[in-house]
Chains A and B, each alone.
Chain A
Amino acid sequence: MSEETKPTEAAEESQTMWLRSERAEAAAPAAASITDAPSPPVPAPAAEAVWAAARASHADAPAPRAPRPLLSAWIDERDGGDSTYFFGRIIPMPMYTVIFAVLAVITLVEVIISELPEGFLGTLLLVALSLAKAVLVVLFYMHLRSDSRFFAAALILPLIIGLISAMFLLAVPTTGYPY
């Protein structure tokens, strides 16, 4: 009997868990019990049927993107992706296009700042703007705001190691070049 209920739970779970690693891990015991159960004399579903069901469950999944980072509360898809909630306004464009427009505007601002007389504030602004651009691409185009946090670790850990190494490099006394 328990074998009958577990697959149902797994089915409900999969409605909201498509492409979500941490949730997939939670469903793993149920899936494992299915695998361990004695195989009934029913042929395994064709790969196409599995993918079709997977796509269908993905399409029906309610609110697949939980607003974890603050940015996703400010910039989010609306109407199935045809319009975007952007800082309180509804823009009739896909979220990807809105992000692209923001990236283009930031790049233009960066170029203008770089043509102004050099200064500490300008350098700080340029670094902040480029970081903002990188974060936007990683969160929205690389889907890090909705994907597993393990993916973020794969990006952040080597970055920290690399930056610490760079700090050591900067600490090496230099004689400079004679010009």
Chain B
Amino acid sequence: MSEARLEAGVHHAAVHNDSLKFGMWLFLASEVIIFTVLIAAYVVFSLDNRGIVKQIHESTINVLGLRLPSVFLVALNTFFLLTSSWTLVMGLREAERGSRKGLAQWITYTAILGIVFLVFQYIEYGILAHEGVVINGTGPLAEFGMRFYTPTAIHGAHVLVGVLWAFWVIRQANRGAYDQNPVGVEVFGLYWHFVDVVWIVIFTVVYLI
């Protein structure tokens, strides 16, 4: 009979994990609404003001003496965020295989790549502000800036929260909190990958089209 109770415990564990994940999915549902509205506001502006959007897209940046399209910096940043998602799932893979050290190592890479993303976004904002794309003021660049900075900065805030969460996961991993059940890593992964998906959309809609 104790074996039966053990099996019931296994069932309970599965339900427990699914409940945690569903909770995160519900939170992400609210995030979908927020980002859809912000991106839609940008799209409406972009459709009505193609000239100003093209002007900003065609601007160039100076990297080590080379004049490169401004999309270069953001494309690099997109690559960093995609890589951070990959390092996270590799960490989850290590956790599922019972490697505490491997998990902490891969999540550390995720946190570092998240920080690099934020640093690059800070640099990008500096360049744009220098060119007159501001969040307040009047004129076409300010009109663009308002619609541009809001979704990208709120996304950046999500990355910052994700980095802090990653550090928490590393700490918990080193303490062995995921040795028996790595669902905590998976729930963090849901959040981080969602932030990545949002960036995939923002990158295309705001920077490429």
Contact = CB atoms under 8 A, between A and B. Distances in A.
Interface in A143-165: 143, 147-148, 150-151, 154-155, 157-159, 161-163, 165
Interface stretch (B40-48, B124-132, B159-167): B40-48
Contact of A141 (B17, B180, B193): B193
Contact of B201 (A51, A118, A130): A130
B204 A127 contact: yes
Contact of B75 (A17, A54, A107, A179): A107
B10 A54 contact: yes
A86 interface: no
B75 A49 contact: no
A169 B197 contact: no
Interface string A45-67: 10111111111010000000000
A94 B91 CA distance: 12
Interface residues of B, number: 71
Contacts of A118: 54
B11 A27 contact: yes
Contacts of B135: none
A81 B93 contact: yes
Given A94-B93, A100-B82, 6 more contacts: A7-B7, A19-B17, A51-B180, A107-B203, A111-B208, A113-B208
Interface of B: 1-15, 17-18, 21-22, 25-26, 28-30, 32-33, 36-37, 40-41, 43-44, 47-49, 51-52, 54, 57, 69, 71, 75, 78-79, 82-83, 85-86, 88-90, 93, 140, 143, 180-181, 186, 189-190, 193-194, 196-197, 200-201, 203-205, 207-209
